[in-house]
Structure 1
Amino acid sequence: MTTTERTPSATDGEVRWTHCPSCSGMIYLRRLWRHDKVCPDCSYHFRLGLSDRLTMLLDPDSHQWFDSELTARDVLSFSDTRPYGERLAKARETTGAGEAVRWGLGRIHDNPVVVAGLDFAFLGGSIGGVTGELLARAARAALHRRIPLLLVTASGGARMQEGVVALAQLAKTSQEIGRLREAGVLVLNINTDPTYGGATASFATLGDVVLAEPGARIGFAGKNVIQQTIRAELPHNFQTAEFLARNGMCDLVVPRGELRSTVARLLSLHGQDAPEEATPGGGRIDDPDGLDRRAAADVVAAARDVQRPTTLDYCGLVFDEFVELHGDRVGADDPAIVGGLARFAGRAVVVLGHQKGHTTGELVERNFGMPQPGGYHKARRMMDHAQRHGMPLVTFVDTPGAYPGVEAERHGQGTAIAEAILRMSRLTVPTVVVVTGEGGSGGALALGVGNRMLMLEQAYFSVISPEGCSTILFGSSEHSAVAAESLRLTAADLMRLGVVDGAVPEPEGGAQSDHASTAANIRAALRESLAELSGLSPEQLLEQRWARVAAIGDPGVQAALGEPSGR
């Protein structure tokens, strides 16, 4: 690092300029500080001290610090080239702190938060016994007060000089975050440069939402250690925030200047709800005879129209606010599944859906809306978030089916779908499904187990595509129109079968002709459906969804519904 933690009040004889290690430009220190220590020419993020970072994040004069008198201890009487006690004394002298962690209470855009940050200037932000204890105390305070915990990390990992005592702090901090998860208390991570070793193997990656600064080096084993161990060339930008985001381990890479507002939005979305009262009726057609008669093949063609709104289109049009989250925390961020947090009619919800696109490039990028296993793992993670924080779940279904490929099978496509179906079936929060286009088999059903299941008028849901059915039964796809009729895959058919609860009207010309009107209809239908579910207890929601799904295919129930008509 070729800068200094010097404040911008340089006097005669002091360094006034620094050199950017990314673009090699020279930057006047006052200008660098005006840009929050981000290079104004190339956006390289210089390392920021903990005090300056906390000042940048928290509302002015809102903080209250605790346990500042606790200091690190030489529990092993450890000595290398210097006694550990001397190293601790030097760290205390340099930073004015007794340990690498500072924790306390604060506010961000007036949202209360418990904050704990690691200072890299104190022995590289390494984790010792007292470090872990301070982090644990912060987590316990968040649990006791039931307010979010914000963890800001810059750490080289566990402190060697404290041996297994340091290692045990990974378990101590992890179990505290586990208790917060069980209690539904939000945990946010901000990982900065660098975040390594014991930090990533515990508290720094366990948050409900994980943020990172651009270019931050984040990983378990350091790059040099990996190269020396496996003797292999490592990828470009290996172990950067961007690398982690591409591989599903990070929700958002957020520029420093946007961190405060991003954290504030996340805190606000997990705050107290004030749901608006819904006006009953008007958004949903509950009688299949109220739908216009359309040939099944025409419905299939309309559902596949590339200009129909996508899930991300609806996220921008139906909801008052939306923050997309990323990654399955296993190794992928499948672009065919998108999800995140939204505000809808005064309450926070989790939104999840298949994502296609409107151009060839977008369709290719999103794999034509056909998820890999990682997409279903990401979906399950979003479902868990809804469950943990008591948020309704809204899903948008639009996929020809799960991706049928060698890699998908190798990574357990069937199991991934099964686990998503199982998880959604056992949620104790309101769940509303909206089929907006194609509903292709199990790949669609993984997002389709709701307390309410709605379909746009010109959407379809089927066990197999009409072309696939025709090929299997007739030897070619030539009879796909006949197969489409026989599969009873339209909204009217599925309402008569008891599979779908209601249809959402589309404007003249279909959803593809008027995105805004279609979104308005979906919004009205969602408000009506969520209003119906809002008075139910978690146990009642679970029982209602179970009974709804259990009735499908029950001969007695089907006999009561009668045979599908209108064909």
Structure 2
Amino acid sequence: MRCGGCAALVYGKRFLRGLGVCPDCGWHSPLTARQRLEQLLDPGSAVPVEAPEPPPDPLGFADTRPYPDRLAEARAATGLRDAVLCARGLVEGRPVVVAAMDFRFLGGSLGCAVGGLITEAARTSLREGVPLLLVTASGGARMQEGVLSLMQMARTARAMAELDEAGVLTVSLVTDPTYGGVAASFATLSDVILAEPGARLGFAGPRVIEQTTGQRLPEGFQTAEFLLANGMVDDIVPRPALRGVLGRLLALRSPAHGPRRPDGPAVLRGADRVPDRDAWEAVRLARHSGRPTTADYAGHLLDEFTELHGDRLAEDCPAVVGGPGRLAGMPVMVIGHHKGGPGLAQRQRRKFGMPTPGGYRKAARLMRLAAKLRLPVVTLIDTPGANPGPDAERGGQAVAIAENLRLMSRLPVPVVAVLTGEGGSGGALALAVADRVLVCENGVYSVISPEGCAAILWKSPQAAPTAAAALRLHARELLRLGVADGVVPEPEGGAHRDHARAAALLGDALAETLADLVPWDTARLLAARAGRFEQFGAQTGFGSQTGRRTS
């Protein structure tokens, strides 16, 4: 056969073994709805989901041919009742309801029958409490059904809203192409949006855009790669890897109990147990370029970690990394700053760990998903501060930070924040409104950098060490002030000397802390979190511990 991407000749059996992916260029061939179900679901697990038959021709529509004739032809050619096929089934043993669209049926257009089938799939998912997987392929609304086709966008969006309210996971798999009313309704309302390589998604098709605007579109516009860079999809997943990724996502469930506690105390609770150190030396260690990043900790600590991308608005900020995984067997949502490692190019690409507004919006989106699925949230903080550039200001940096503070203050799941390195100002606090705040032994946390403080108050950047001491920003002082609830030990000489050991120590600290918090109900969590932050400023005198909560 000839590849539809590179036009190379491919041995047919090899092409089929590769699930319809060209072994030379990676082109993903179109699949039928039945092929989708066969590839994604465990063998023999599919059970059809049906919906009532809608009126066959609600408008009595005819263009060059009567609409009923077009329907009959599409049904004969595809063997489908309409452009979507729905089934209950299993993916790697995990239950799911799947609605897979078929572009062969009138371009996968959204009409009353498709709206009814998508809605029935969502109702089945809601009734059985199992995740919904939507596999989309569509040219848009079905013109032959007029405004009734338009109404299916609202109909399916309402069905998705019910799943949100019930805390049921929804996942979309965007395939090529997905346009119009499908893109602007259920396809982009899922909690997690995956895309096949090269898949196109948009409200208006490229020809319409060019005809309307008179502008030539850039290469790759509306492709999965474009969408990932602009924060619209969570990941691009090649077809052979889909079952594994879906299996991990479908396994996300609210934990029944916390992780197993470590054998001994893992968190230092008393300031006298934390080594005293020079404040400026603590700053230098916290900023060491070799310290583990959030991605490093996720790699060491989490099983089945799936990084999710994008703020669903404009960008995928590389300074924030996050996604679900399993910590000591318990599902959690991990979100953290990423400075980029020791290389300058890596650090530049990651914006030196200084998030844009999109980074905070991405974090907020993942926290809302954690709240919906009842997953504990772990944030790992290591940033000089929020991005100070003009683009960040135009994007609403202050608003994005403020929104996160409000969101975290009322998040109905346990939240543990860890200052793994540098905690700079509001850029750090935007991920640190938590039930428990831990600080790594060589971490720091401050309202401003020592250099900035020295330049403003001492009128000299050379006074930075003096300012660092005055700010009382290292672990021992943070614990004494009550800003931190505990200190996580580090390997001798600092976390940069032994990433695996640093991760093991952090893992024990998180397990110990979450084992305490997971059994708490929402009311207790929110009351204690409010009390935690109410105490700051309500006491006077450095080192006062009298008002520290005991909850």
TM-score w.r.t. length of structure 2: 0.97
- Choose from 506, 517, 524 the match for 1:540: 524
Counterpart amino acid of residue 398 in structure 1: D
SS at structure 1 position matched to 2:140: coil
How far did 1:280 drift? 6.4
Residue 233 of structure 2 aligns with an amino acid whose one-letter code is: C
Distance in 1 between the 2:304 and 2:241 partners?
17
Alignment match of 1:248 (pick from 221, 231, 250): 231
Cα gap change, 1:275/1:541 in structure 2, threshold over 3 Å: closer, same or farther? closer
**Secondary structure of the structure 1 residue equivalent to 2:210:** helix
2:487 matches 1:503: yes
Residue of structure 2 in register with 1:351 after alignment: 334
Map 1:96-111 → 2, pairs under 5 A? 96-111=79-94
Which residue of 2 is the match for residue 219 of structure 1?
202
Following TM superposition, by how much is the alpha carbon of 1:29 offset from its aligned partner in structure 2, in angstroms? Answer: 2.5
Q: 1:474 to 1:558 in 2, by over 3 A?
A: closer
User: Could you tell me which residue of structure 2 aligns to residue 382 of structure 1?
Assistant: 366
- Partner SS state of residue 250, structure 1: coil
1:168 is aligned to 2:116: no
* Partners of 1:68 and 1:98 within 8 A in 2: no
Percentage of pairs with the same residue: 51
Residue 281 (structure 1) shift = 4.3
Deviates more, 1:349-358 or 1:24-33: 24-33
Is contact 1:273–1:346 with CA below 8 Å preserved after alignment?
Answer: no
Tell me the secondary structure at the aligned position of residue 201 of structure 2: coil
Show the 5 A alignment for 1:275-286: 275-279=258-262, 281-286=264-269
Structure-2 separation of matches of 1:215 and 1:276: 40
SS of 1:269's equivalent? coil
Counterpart pick for 2:442 among 458, 461, 484: 458
Give the alignment partner of residue 208 of structure 1, picking from 191, 194, 199. 191
* In structure 2, distance between residues paired with 1:405 and 1:560: 38
Letter in 1 for 2:171: L
Partner in structure 2 of residue 468 of structure 1:
452
How much does 1:143 deviate?
0.6
Supply the AA of the counterpart residue of 1:292.
Answer: P
Deviation at 1:558, TM superposition (A): 6.7
Letter in 2 for 1:412: G
Residue of structure 1 aligned with 2:22, choices 11, 29, 39: 39
Contact kept? 2:129, 2:168, Cα under 8 Å: yes
Partners in 2 of 1:78 and 1:378 — Cα distance? 45
* RMSD over aligned Cα atoms: 1.6
1:330 to 287, 290, 313: 313
Structure 1: stretches of 5+ with no match in the other structure = 1-16
Q: Residue 535 of structure 2 aligns with which residue? A: 551
What is the alpha-carbon distance in structure 1 between the residues aligned to residue 313 and residue 233 of structure 2?
A: 10
Shift of 1:429: 0.6
Structure 2 matches for 1:291-330, cutoff 5 A?
291-330=274-313
C-alpha deviation, 1:315, in angstroms: 0.4
The answer on whether the counterparts of 1:72 and 1:88 sit within 8 Å (CA) in structure 2 is no
The superposition leaves residues 425-478 of structure 1 with CA deviations (integer Å, 9 ceiling, x where unpaired) of 111111101101100000000001110000011110000000000000122200
**Which residue does 2:377 correspond to in 1?**
393
Q: Tell me, in whole angstroms, the C-alpha distance in 1 between the residues paired with 2:87 and 2:300.
A: 39
In the alignment, is the contact (CA less than 8 A) between 1:111 and 1:264 conserved in 2? yes
Q: CA-to-partner distance for each residue in 1:247-293, whole Å, 9 max, x for gaps?
A: 10000100011111111111113376565431464211001111111
Deviations 1:150-184 (A, max 9, x none): 11111111101101100000001001111101110
Task: Give the letter for the 2:460 counterpart.
Answer: S
Runs of 4+ aligned residues of structure 1 deviating over 4 Å after TM superposition are 271-275, 556-560
SS in 2 for 1:353: strand
Aligned to 1:117: 100
- Are 2:419 and 1:424 equivalent residues in the alignment? no
* Compared CA separation, residues 271 and 64, structure 1 to 2 (3 A): farther
The change in CA–CA distance for 1:273 and 1:440 in structure 2 (over 3 A counts) is: same
SS of residue paired to 2:335: strand
Question: Are the equivalent residues in 2 in contact too, given 1:71–1:98 (CA < 8 A)?
Answer: no
Distance in 2 between residues matched to 1:498 and 1:442, nearest whole Å: 18
Report if the CA contact (8 A) 2:200-2:222 is conserved.
yes
1:319 is matched by which residue type in structure 2?
L
Unaligned runs of 5+ in 2: none
Alpha-carbon distance between aligned partners in 2 of 1:286 and 1:124, rounded to the nearest angstrom: 62
- Number of matched residues? 546
Amino acid corresponding to residue 98 of structure 1 in structure 2:
R
Query: Aligned to 2:70, what secondary structure does the other structure show?
Result: helix
For residues 32-76 of structure 1, give each alpha carbon's deviation from its aligned partner in whole angstroms, at most 9, with x where no partner exists.
212111111111111111111110000111011032773662100
1:339 maps to 2:348: no
Name the structure 1 match of 2:38: 55
2:142 to 159, 163, 169: 159
Residue pair 1:99, 1:122 contacting (<8 A) in 2 also: yes
SS in 2 for 1:265: helix
Q: Aligned equivalents of 1:220 and 1:29: distance in 2? A: 35
Letter in 2 for 1:156: G
